[in-house]
Amino acid sequence: MQTITLLGATGSIGVSTLDVIARHPDRYSVFALTAHSQVEKLAAQCQQFNPHYAVVGDQQSASQLKTILGDSGCATEVLWGRDSLSQVASDSAVDTVMAAIVGAAGLVPTLAAVQAGKKILLANKESLVMAGGLFMQAVADSGSVLLPIDSEHNAIFQCLPEDYKTSTNSSGVKKLLLSASGGPFRGWSAEQMAAVTPDQACAHPNWSMGRKISVDSATLMNKGLELIEACWLFAMPASNIEVVVHPQSIIHSLVQYVDGSVLAQLGNPDMRTPIAHALAWPERIDAGVADLDLFEIAQFNFEKPDLDCFPCLGIAAEAAKVGRNAPTILNAANEIAVQAFLDQRISFMQIANVVEQTLNGQQLTEPESLAAVQECDEQARLYSSAYIKRLEK
């Protein structure tokens, strides 16, 4: 029986994780569920799974959740605040932590789980984008098991040799191919995208996701963040990772070997597949996902990404090559820019401009501590926020 803390229970990854867990009550029990502010949704999850703890973002949400749970007879203890996230992620009773908090907010509790030696199911790519070196060193020091949940990284993990550790030729791995759907604006011109609305950007053709990650998918910044994440997960230089646009979202990623072989992982676009794979690894369990019908799909298409129309991908790839704190700055500026776009303060195409200007306006250093990463993140957010205010004038 694995005991699980789910960081980010009310998001799309959290909901899919609980769906898989519910299918295997003999294998998994829930220790803690966390959410920022979706109190009623979290309450319903607590009533179904009866975790020891539920964590919310603030005291007001905690009071509301306590009332709902108390009225329903649910005995789950309610906590709130950032420190409580780290507490339930590192508790000695926990075996596995699903790290599914979106954005920079997921870094500290995920790192706490790593330092406590937990099995980490990583859906929070920002942990590696912001603090890849520190994070991977903590994994090595603690003996934590790190398993990727993003469909692309999970696909690569499945296609690599079992003993793969580094990108040395002894493994025969030559290149990683990250697949991308192309998002809702694949084939659009820059002129067409100038008038894109938040609702259009959040209407992904294949995946059901939150608004922030949907915008990242529309700009292809999400693929850039995944490229940076792949560098750390698989000890692979950015120059050996290529993004391939695959509109059907059936081939989730590929690994190219020196002998000419290319291995791919295929499946319907359903996050329950990589979640179930990581939960049960190295075993396989039912995920509730429909069988893939290749006859219905009929054909696969592949394209090179258009970096002129989707400059965020190129900016992120360059940040990966530059290294140091460039990915931290990139992520912070992007989070601020995406929220400004969702608030209709800047245009869709200005997101890349905000990120690029912030990168150009910050000093590049090698972050040697978590505090240094957090300081860099804060300064980049201040810079990008100020730049957006100037754009609004």
317 shares a domain with 343? no
Task: Specify the pLDDT at position 206.
Answer: 65
Name the residue type at position 253. S
Q: Is the pLDDT of residue 167 over 60?
A: no
Angstrom distance (rounded) from CA 94 to CA 359:
39
46 shares a domain with 103? yes
41-45, 56-60, 72-76, 168-172: range with lowest mean pLDDT:
168-172
Task: Specify the pLDDT at position 393.
Answer: 72
Minimal CA–CA distance to 112: which of 100, 103, 120? Answer: 120
32 lies in some domain: yes
Minimal CA–CA distance to 235: which of 328, 133, 313, 337? Answer: 133
379 shares a domain with 236? no
Q: Is the pLDDT of residue 213 over 90?
A: no
Q: What is the mean pLDDT of residues 62-86?
A: 96
310 lies in some domain: yes
Q: How many domains does the chain have?
A: 3
278 lies in some domain: no
Q: What is the mean pLDDT of residues 33-44?
A: 96
Give the model's confidence band at 140: pLDDT under 50 very low, under 70 low, under 90 confident, else very high: very high
279 lies in some domain: no
**Residue carrying structure tokens 């912070």:** 332
Q: What is the mean pLDDT of residues 81-88?
A: 97
Angstrom distance (rounded) from CA 230 to CA 137:
16
Q: Is the pLDDT of residue 166 over 70?
A: no
215 shares a domain with 130? no
Instruction: Report the SS3 class of residue 97.
Output: strand
361 shares a domain with 230? no
189 shares a domain with 122? no
Percent of the chain with pLDDT strictly greater than 70: 97
> Do 342 and 215 form a contact (C-beta atoms < 8 A)?
yes
Angstrom distance (rounded) from CA 135 to CA 129:
10
Q: In terms of residue numbers, what domain contains 363? A: 323-393
- 148, 183, 200 — which closes off a domain? 148
274 lies in some domain: no
251 shares a domain with 202? yes
175 shares a domain with 102? no
pTM score: 0.93
As a whole number, the mean pLDDT across the chain is 94
173 shares a domain with 295? yes
342 shares a domain with 212? no
299 lies in some domain: yes
Percent of the chain with pLDDT strictly greater than 90: 88
| Degrees to nearest 5, angle at CA 274 with 22 and 203 | 95
Q: What is the mean pLDDT of residues 26-32?
A: 98
277 lies in some domain: no
For the segment 337-363, what is each residue's pLDDT rounded down to a tens digit? 999 999 999 999 999 999 999 999 999
For the segment 65-75, what is each residue's pLDDT rounded down to a tens digit? 999 999 999 99
- 148, 171, 191 — which closes off a domain? 148
Q: What is the mean pLDDT of residues 34-52?
A: 96
Domain CATH for 374: 1.10.1740.10
Q: Which two tokens stand for residue 291?
A: 């069988």
Give the model's confidence band at 138: pLDDT under 50 very low, under 70 low, under 90 confident, else very high: very high
281 lies in some domain: no
Q: What is the mean pLDDT of residues 318-322?
A: 96
Task: Specify the pLDDT at position 104.
Answer: 87
**Residue carrying structure tokens 């960081």:** 7
Angstrom distance (rounded) from CA 109 to CA 55:
12
79 shares a domain with 14? yes
94 shares a domain with 128? yes
